[in-house]
């Protein structure tokens, strides 16, 4: 089967929640971050204690059952899936270390915690079917959040790509006191700001070079 090229893009918009919505977002985000930190702590402990590898499946089941009734089954899965991805990437780098790593990578560390200066970061991870975007009203509707109601939150910013939506990550910047929604898309069209028309995006690479970002 031939490989189908997909242009993946992430668009960031500012969220403008009401005071009540902000309280719910903070509670939900704190629970998501707490889930990440707890499952990650157990996996790091297994790794550094030299046990028989990291029990990805066992820890997933344990903490999923712990949090599914608090943040919903889908949201718990998304946080745990993201942590799985981080550990998978870590193990891939360890395997690559035995062969050859880029010169800018000096040390490989296991996934860290969602915290900054001992303060838990507020991060919410949602599946593509847990939110809807209303561009006319400039609202993002969140749902399937268990004890949290459906939230219709206003946003500022332009969504200039169209296509199949993917994961949504909502992050609170404690320094700026602002909420940001990071929307991933399999982009098929892009808005031409000069003409105001939607045009198809190219799916073929212009070159064969690969870029990397150390974050």
Q: Could you read off the pLDDT of 149-169 as tens digits, one per residue?
A: 789 999 999 999 989 999 999
Which pLDDT value is given to residue 101?
A: 63
Asked if 180 contacts 14 with a C-beta cutoff of 8 angstroms, the reply is: yes
Q: What percent of the chain has pLDDT over 70?
A: 86
pLDDT tens figures, 159-202:
999 899 999 999 999 999 999 999 999 988 988 888 989 999 87
pLDDT tens figures, 64-95:
999 999 999 999 999 999 999 999 999 988 88
Asked if 15 contacts 154 with a C-beta cutoff of 8 angstroms, the reply is: yes
Q: How far is Cα 87 from Cα 94, in angstroms, rounded to an integer?
A: 11
Average pLDDT over residues 3-21: 85
The DSSP bridge partners found for residue 124 are 170
| List of residues 6+ apart from 22 with CB closer than 8 A | 179
Average pLDDT over residues 22-40: 97
């Amino acid at each position: 089967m031939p490989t189908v090229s997909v242009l993946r893009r992430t668009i960031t918009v500012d969220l403008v929640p009401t005071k009540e919505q902000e309280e719910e977002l903070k509670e939900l985000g704190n629970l998501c971050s707490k889930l990440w930190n707890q499952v990650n702590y157990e996996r790091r402990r297994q790794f550094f204690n030299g046990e028989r590898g990291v029990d990805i499946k066992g820890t997933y089941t344990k903490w999923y059952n712990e949090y599914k009734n608090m943040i919903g089954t889908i949201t718990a899965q998304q946080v745990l899936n993201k942590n799985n991805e981080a550990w998978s990437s870590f193990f891939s780098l360890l395997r690559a270390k035995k062969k050859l790593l880029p010169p800018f990578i000096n040390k490989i560390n296991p996934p860290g915690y969602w915290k900054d200066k001992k303060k838990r970061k507020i991060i919410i991870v949602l599946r593509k079917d847990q939110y809807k975007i209303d561009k006319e009203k400039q609202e993002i509707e969140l749902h399937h959040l268990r004890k949290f109601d459906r939230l219709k939150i206003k946003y500022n910013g332009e969504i200039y790509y169209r296509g199949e939506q993917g994961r949504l990550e909502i992050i609170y910047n404690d320094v700026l006191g602002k909420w940001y929604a990071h929307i991933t898309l399999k982009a098929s069209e892009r808005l031409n700001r000069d003409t105001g028309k939607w045009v198809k995006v190219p799916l073929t690479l212009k070159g064969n070079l690969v870029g990397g970002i150390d974050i």
